[in-house]
Amino acid sequence: MPVGTQATVKALTPAELTEIGAQIILSNTYHLYIRPGHELIKAAGGLHKFMAWDKPALTDSGGFQVFSLARLRKVTDDGVRFNSHIDGAEHFFTPEYATEIQNALGADIIMAFDECSEYGIDLSRARDAMERTLKWLNRCYTAHKNPMQALFPIVQGGFDIALRLESLERTIPYAKHGIAIGGLSVGEPAEEMYAILDALKPKLPPETPRYLMGVGTPDYLFEGVLRGIDMFDCVLPTRIARNGLALTSRGKLNVRNAEYSADFGLLDGECECYCCRNFSRAYLRHLINTDEILGGRMISVHNLRFLLHLMDNIRSAIKSDRFLDFKKEFYNKYFV
């Protein structure tokens, strides 16, 4: 799922997103609350009309941003008091208010307000964050007023497997439309993330989508699917694109490198996106090195299309019962 934090997938139009096959995009509650405000977006007819996106949209609760971006914060069972990273103004998010904001934004899928614990905290603090997340989850469901929006709960518990399993068991009753796994891909070694997912996999509800939050590299997509995950999001493909880094069928390619200065080959010969149909590596290098907006835009188009097409191929491989073979084939080319 491409990430459109500020009600836009950075530098791309809805038409471009549709062309590359995006089915759903994300926006961020915290950022849209700060600017331009959820009431303004509600007055515009909701997020879809505000940004001219006629397909599904998901908003996260803002919890991760409150904990990672806010200059100062104080967490209690009531909620989180924090200062804006923009102007320092003080704000207070409760589970009820985070839900109310998302109701106003009007996304199709909204997330419960949770406390995302950082990697490396001790067991006591991880349990406190998990217990608070579960208390807030019940309050979010009580406050949720829009039956047209699917509210996903979030499993927390840090990196303790027993805590994670307890969190999942107590969260499942709220997983009426889907369930999310938060607090992973926060700086831990990949093996630790995989261990958590391995433990959760047999206990996840089989009838609802499973969403691994904040994950988007090709290897994490494969490993997540292998462990029962259906949905992923990450800012990585567009963020690295603006710095000239492309994800290709032969691995990562940084067009800033001098070796591409006279390379008139396509960015990725196996890709059919607009960028790869039209522009050479030399031209893209020129755009990036001269800070021309088109360079970042085109590599963003390519990176998103690359990951969306990868997920298309993963779905096809699963249906034809050759997922592990496809994973091996992809890895043999990508990790050269």
DSSP one-letter string for 104-159: HHT-SEEE-----PPTT--HHHHHHHHHHHHHHHHHHHHH---TTSEEEPEE--TT
In this predicted structure, what is the pLDDT of residue 336?
82
Both 230 and 243 in one domain: the answer is no
Q: Domain holding 72: CATH number?
A: 3.20.20.105
Both 206 and 172 in one domain: the answer is yes
Both 219 and 283 in one domain: the answer is no
In this predicted structure, what is the pLDDT of residue 117?
86
Q: What is the pTM of this model?
A: 0.97
Both 62 and 172 in one domain: the answer is yes
- In angstroms, the CA 313 to CA 333 distance is 15
In this predicted structure, what is the pLDDT of residue 73?
85
List the chain residues with pLDDT less than 70: 70-71
Both 219 and 260 in one domain: the answer is no
Q: How many domains does the chain have?
A: 2
Q: Domain end: 211, 234, 257, which one? A: 234
Q: In the numeric block, which tokens belong to residue 46?
A: 């909701």
- Cis preceding-peptide flag for 14 (omega within 30 of 0): no
Both 196 and 245 in one domain: the answer is no
Q: In the numeric block, which tokens belong to residue 264?
A: 């008139």
Domain that holds residue 24: 14-234
Is residue 9 domain-resident?
Answer: no
Both 193 and 324 in one domain: the answer is no
Ordered DSSP codes for 254-303: ETTSGGGTT--SBS-TT--SHHHHH-BHHHHHHHHHTT-HHHHHHHHHHH
Q: Domain end: 234, 269, 304, which one? A: 234
Both 127 and 267 in one domain: the answer is no
Both 196 and 101 in one domain: the answer is yes
In this predicted structure, what is the pLDDT of residue 68?
81
Is residue 6 domain-resident?
Answer: no
Is residue 206 domain-resident?
Answer: yes
Measure the CA angle with vertex 265, ends 261 and 270; round to 5°.
135
Both 36 and 155 in one domain: the answer is yes
Contact assessment for residue 213 and residue 116, using Cβ atoms and an 8 Å cutoff: no
Both 118 and 252 in one domain: the answer is no
Contact assessment for residue 32 and residue 53, using Cβ atoms and an 8 Å cutoff: no
In this predicted structure, what is the pLDDT of residue 70?
65
Catalytic choice (60, 108, 291, 312)? 60
Active site residue 114: no
Is residue 82 domain-resident?
Answer: yes
Is residue 155 domain-resident?
Answer: yes
Both 219 and 263 in one domain: the answer is no
Is residue 87 domain-resident?
Answer: yes
One-letter amino acid at 270 equals: E
Catalytic choice (160, 233, 268, 312)? 233
Is residue 5 domain-resident?
Answer: no
Active site residue 128: no
Three-class SS of residue 74? Answer: strand
Q: Domain end: 234, 268, 303, which one? A: 234
